[in-house]
Amino acid sequence: MFTAQIAEKDLRTISYWAKKLEQFPFWGKAALEELLATEFRVGVYLDADTFPVAYASITPEGTPDGCDRGALWFDHLYVDEHVRGRGLVDILFRSQLDYVRRYPKRRILCVPMDVYVAAFWERRGWQKYRDALHAPLGVYELPRVCVGS
């Protein structure tokens, strides 16, 4: 198993990932367009000959309400059902942290879609930052002290 950044020109993998996300109402048919607008994409692969089995991205446009544009929004997290419970989200999270360390002046934000995701982020130091329209649980921020160097 290994992680790899997914290049913007890798339309085959990005399209595959978008199809997985389209099944969820909060991404829907805009998933491909959103993925192409991300600035960082990472996948976990079981071997070199397959598509990733888990994905995550960072985008400057993850805001649900138009506020905080340009922040580092953790977004598009997905893990295939058959590999859930193996710690892949932590692997993706570490890759995302490696990326955000390059941008020490930008806020790190996310919008958890359910209480389980919110609890996951809270266990890793995220704190509720503000309420937001179209985001029942609000917007969370990862304090820079939790990012490390």
Binned at pLDDT 50, 70 and 90, residue 83 comes out as very high
The model's confidence at residue 22, banded by pLDDT at 50, 70 and 90, is: very high
Residue 149 pLDDT: 62
The full DSSP string for 70-112 is TSEEEEEEEE-GGGTTSSHHHHHHHHHHHHHTT-TTS-EEE--
> What are the structure tokens assigned to 42, written together?
């990472």
pTM of the predicted model over 0.85: yes
Nearest alpha carbon to residue 136 among 118, 123, 119:
118
What pLDDT sits at residue 98? Answer: 95
